[in-house]
Amino acid sequence: MTTETRLRIAMQKSGRLSDDTQALLKRCGLTLNVTDRRLLAHVANMPIDIMRVRSSDIPGLVMDGVCDLGIVGDNTLEEAALERELMGQKSQYIRTSQLNFGGCRLSIAMPEGFDYQGIKSLDGLRFATTYPQLLNRYAKEQGINVEFCLLKGSVEVAPRVGLSDGICDLVSTGATLEANGLVEVEEIFKSKASLIQTASALCSEKQSILDTLLPRIQGVMKAKE
């Protein structure tokens, strides 16, 4: 099969979703030979290529049709879609299935001792976040104005160093918030990993690979429940 007829799947190269994604693909019967240096890995026993990239690049790769499928957190996906809409770019994709790993929530957290009396207490404040679009949408829905400063990591330290009043970041166990003297006050988005698909029609060869793969993914997800 030529490269054009091999199904291309984008997954996180390294990070919180990469092990679960790799395990899922292996349980679907894909023989993966993923080494750290190879960013485009051929699946030996199926006409599939795996592109290993940063999570934040996956939505764009699928929306632009560079990859046929991608496995990414809903938080990253929704933030990218909102950002692209704002810039007048194409933001279509199909959510083929929600997966049962990568669970977390995007929450607003304030320093301990902050007098939180409901959402209006946050009006006019400044938040450090990696997710300005999701924060902005929530603030608009709630009828408040917020400012943000964009941080790609170590968001929890921002209030302590005077960069922001609070933060808007992902939480799973809550241990990081606690360790940094922060208290969760509003959950604004719930997230899990999703399998997404390009909105463009696939050629018949790719569609038939997908038709084989999808029931396997759903079977693995069911078995894990």
When the beta carbons of 191 and 198 are compared against ligand PRT, the nearer one is 191
Among 31, 98, 172, 212, binds ligand PRT (CB under 6 A): 172
**Residues 37-66 close enough to bind ligand PRT by CB under 6 A:** 54-56
CA distances from 95 to 46, 151, 183 (A): 23, 28, 33
Among 60, 70, 102, 132, binds ligand PRT (CB under 6 A): 102
State in angstroms the smallest separation of the CB of 57 from ligand PRT: 7
Residue 31 makes contact with ligand PRT by CB under 6 A:
no
Which token pair is 217? Answer: 């993914």
Among 15, 124, 215, 219, binds ligand PRT (CB under 6 A): 15
Sheet containing 40-42: order of strands: 40-42, 48-53, 7-12, 69-73, 193-198, 93-98
d(CA 74, CA 87): 20
Residue 17 makes contact with ligand PRT by CB under 6 A:
yes
When the beta carbons of 46 and 127 are compared against ligand PRT, the nearer one is 127
Stretch that binds ligand PRT, among 61-69, 78-86, 172-180, 197-205 (CB under 6 A): 172-180
When the beta carbons of 60 and 102 are compared against ligand PRT, the nearer one is 102
When the beta carbons of 12 and 197 are compared against ligand PRT, the nearer one is 12
Among 104, 134, 139, 209, binds ligand PRT (CB under 6 A): 104
Sign of CA pseudo-dihedral 129, 101, 62, 39: positive
Other Cβ atoms within 10 Å of 196 Cβ, number: 24
Output DSSP code: residue 129: E
Which token pair is 125? Answer: 């404040």
Tell me the H-state helices in 64-110.
Answer: 74-86
d(CA 207, CA 197): 11
Residue 70 makes contact with ligand PRT by CB under 6 A:
no
Residue nearest to ligand PRT (CB): 73
Stretch that binds ligand PRT, among 8-16, 41-49, 117-125, 202-210 (CB under 6 A): 8-16
d(CA 153, CA 42): 32
State in angstroms the smallest separation of the CB of 45 from ligand PRT: 27
Dihedral Cα 49, 221, 213, 94, nearest 10 deg: -80
What are the backbone angles phi and psi of residue 60, rounded to the nearest 5°? -65, -40
Could you list the residues that contact ligand PRT (CB under 6 A)? 12, 15-17, 54-56, 73, 75-76, 102, 104, 169-176, 191
